[in-house]
Each structure stands twice: as C-alpha cells, then as structure tokens.
C-alpha cells in the first residue's frame, strides 16, 4: 500500500546538493516515449543520492505512468522519498511525496513536470521507474481492466459466454484450431507463452470467443498479428522466461465482452502462496484427450517454491510460480493462457501467471507457470506505445 503524503515541503528539504551526473532535462513531443528511473534501475539505487529530472512537453501536458515504485516506507517518508511536481517546479517545493510500494499516474498541470529522488545515508535501497509521454489533456482518462461479464480444463467447468473478456485464443491460420491461449493487456498487445512460438506455425488472434464450434458471439473478432517478441532469455529446457509479447496489426475493439486484464503492478514482491487463481483454456480435459470446444475455467491453489520442490519440481526459478490442486489442472493447448487473481478489495482480475509447464495433467506433481510480476519490466519496456490501466 502507498504511504502518500500531499504536503508542501520546504525548498531546503527538497534541494540538497544534486549528486553529480544525476540532474536531467528532457523535452517530450507527441509520440515520444521516455523513461524516468532511479540510478542503477532495475537494481537498487545507492545510499545518499539526490537526483532531479525535469521534463517539458511543449505541445501538451506531461503524463507519468509510474508503474514500479518500491521505496522503503517510513514515517513522513523520512528515509527515502520520490517527489513529483505537477507544475514542473525546479525546486519541487509543491511536490507530492511518495514512499512505499505501488503505482501511480500523474499528469502535469502545465507543460512541465519534475521529479526528485532523495535517499538517506542509511537507505536500505529501492527503485522506481516511470514512463513519460506527452498528452493533449490535463485530465486522467478513466480506464478499465480486469472486469468480468456477469451473467474444460481437467475437472473444470464451462465459463459463461464472454465471462472473461481478457481471454483470447491463438488459432492456426489454416484450419483455425486453437493452439494456445493468450491474454489481452492493451488494445494492441497480448501476452502468451514463448513456447507457443517454438515451431513454424502461423497464428491469428481470436477475441470474444466462447464456443469454437459455433458461429461465435457478437463480440468475436479475428485479428492478424503484426509481430511476436519472445523473451530473449527464454530457456526451452526449464521454461524459464516463458513469455511472448504479441502485437496485432490493428486496435482490438473493447466492450463489456472484450477488454484488457489488469497487470499486477501493485503486487510486485508478492509470492501469492496459498491464494487461489482461475486458469482458462480450450485445452484437453486429460492428457492426449480431445480439446474442449467451449472455454473452460478451473480454480487452482498457488503453492510456495519450497512446497513445489517438495512435490517433485526440482528447478523453480524466480520467474516461475507453481500451482497445485488435487485432480484439477491445466492441460495440453492451455499454454499461454492467464492465471487470474481476484483482488478482494476491488473485485478485478489481475494476470499473475502464464500457463507454461506441466508433467502430463492433474498428476501429483505441481504445474509450473510464468510469474508475471517478475517479467513486467520487459513487457512494459517492449510495448512503449501501450497504455496500461493501473488499478
């Protein structure tokens, strides 16, 4: 949770000597994308530094999407602090002060915005990163993500029609068979598993689908793929970094039946052990069996890495997350689909995992999935034209 203080702070408190090499200025024009980040990002910033960034957006307003802020919480942010001035004040005397862990979006009140980072000599370290763009309005547009439309995996149940608007299918260009799942994260981007692209097959993206043997729903649309980026560190041996970023050639049409999942910006550092997630897919209901023509869902428990290893998975990396539920599992052709975590505070669905690796289906061995919180920096860096809804 944020510890967020909206107070006026004195120039003296904000403006100790700037650390050499840590004073920046940038002009931001429409369609430009820049990043403001702490020194050594994605590692920890050093102790005892004072940094300042000033951005000017001559043709509009500056928007900062700070999607990764991890600064040690302290009373009145007395240890380390991030400051953001909507007026672009060079001394940050009207800056809003942040510490703790979370995400925020700030739009300047004029054509400038400024940032400051002050870390103490006894700082335990932290980090932050903001995406900086130019927009034509000073008002933060409302956004939606992770919503469900209210209305078979192994021992799963059929979903309601378009119950999960973020779910998509990767289908073969020829024949139309669903090969993998994917999840919508922006009007032009989806996430899936890297191993879905290990062969030569060519796919299209299908959204708003429910029954693959029927004529489709009113929301069903097919989109061509403009490009696929597989994580450069993907390891086919243990499926580490098993993630791919998909870009469509045109914008996907959003509605109550089709829309993006929430990315877990606010859940960075969470293990999710002993929580439950919902997995989705059109895959087989048992190993070697037929695929399901209707979208299936199943509730699975996330287990700790130590429990996962005790149950026979010898190599669990920091980018992986294990699930296990007796007699329930994802199966063949469910790869690339999401593991959805429901936030009890707002009821929204957050994509915390990507279906990756299993030992057959619903055996005594846990399934291993890609942990989304640990690959979000790669996702956001490689989709600079995306607009993510931070909830």
| Residue 195 annotated in active site | yes
| Residue 215 annotated in active site | no
3-state helix, strand, coil in the chain (%, to 5): 5, 40, 55
Q: Which residues contact 305 (CB under 8 A, 6 or more apart)?
A: 316, 322
CA 78 centroid distance within chain: 30
d(CA 135, CA 29): 9
* From 123, 335, 356, 383, the catalytic residue: 335
Q: 111: phi > 0 → left, psi -120 to 50 → alpha, else beta; which?
A: alpha
* From 186, 240, 242, 329, the catalytic residue: 242
Q: Whose CA is closest to 90, among 51, 37, 54? A: 54
| Residue 68 annotated in active site | no
d(CA 300, CA 279): 7
d(CA 160, CA 294): 10
Q: Which residues contact 48 (CB under 8 A, 6 or more apart)?
A: 119, 120, 121, 123
* From 56, 134, 195, 240, the catalytic residue: 195
Which class for 97: exposed (0-12), middle (13-18), buried (19 or more C-beta within 10 A)? buried
| Angle formed at CA 49 by CA 46 and CA 52, multiple of 5 degrees | 120
Q: Whose CA is closest to 245, among 188, 207, 292, 288? A: 188
d(CA 386, CA 59): 20
Instruction: Write the CA distances from 255 to 12, 282, 347, integer angstroms.
Output: 50, 22, 18
Q: Which residues are catalytic?
A: 195, 242, 335
């Amino acid at each position: 949770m944020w510890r967020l203080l909206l107070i006026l702070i004195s120039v003296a408190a904000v403006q100790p000597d700037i650390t050499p090499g840590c004073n920046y200025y940038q002009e931001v024009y429409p369609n430009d994308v820049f990043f403001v980040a702490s020194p050594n990002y994605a590692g920890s910033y050093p102790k005892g530094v004072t940094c300042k960034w000033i951005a000017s957006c001559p043709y509009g307003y500056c928007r900062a999407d700070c999607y990764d802020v991890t600064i040690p919480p302290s009373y009145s942010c007395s240890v380390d602090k991030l400051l953001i001035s909507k007026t672009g004040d060079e001394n940050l005397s009207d800056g809003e002060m942040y510490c703790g862990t979370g995400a925020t979006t700030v739009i300047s009140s004029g054509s400038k915005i400024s940032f400051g980072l002050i870390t103490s000599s006894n700082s335990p370290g932290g980090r932050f990163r903001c995406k900086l763009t130019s927009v034509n309005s000073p008002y933060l547009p409302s956004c939606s993500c992770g919503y469900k439309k209210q209305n078979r995996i192994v021992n799963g149940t059929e979903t309601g029609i378009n119950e999960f608007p973020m779910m998509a299918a990767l289908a073969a260009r020829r024949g139309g068979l669903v090969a993998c799942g994917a999840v919508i994260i922006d009007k032009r981007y989806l996430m899936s598993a890297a191993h879905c692209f290990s062969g030569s097959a060519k796919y299209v993206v299908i959204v708003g689908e429910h029954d693959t043997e029927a004529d489709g729903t009113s929301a069903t649309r097919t989109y061509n793929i403009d490009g696929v980026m597989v994580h450069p560190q993907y390891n086919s041996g243990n499926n580490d970094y098993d993630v791919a970023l998909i870009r469509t050639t045109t914008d996907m049409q959003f509605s109550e039946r089709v829309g993006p999942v929430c990315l877990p910006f606010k859940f960075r550092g969470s293990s999710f052990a002993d929580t439950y997630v919902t997995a989705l897919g059109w895959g087989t209901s048992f190993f070697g069996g037929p695929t399901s023509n209707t979208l299936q869902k199943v509730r699975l428990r996330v287990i700790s890495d130590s429990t996962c290893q005790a149950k026979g998975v010898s190599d669990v990396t920091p980018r992986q997350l294990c699930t296990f539920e007796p007699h329930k599992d994802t199966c063949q052709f469910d790869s690339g689909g999401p593991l959805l975590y429901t936030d009890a505070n707002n009821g929204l669905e957050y994509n915390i995992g990507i279906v990756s690796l299993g030992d057959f289906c619903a055996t005594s061995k846990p399934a291993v999935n890609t942990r989304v919180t640990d690959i979000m920096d790669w996702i956001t860096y490689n989709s600079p034209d995306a607009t993510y809804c931070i909830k």
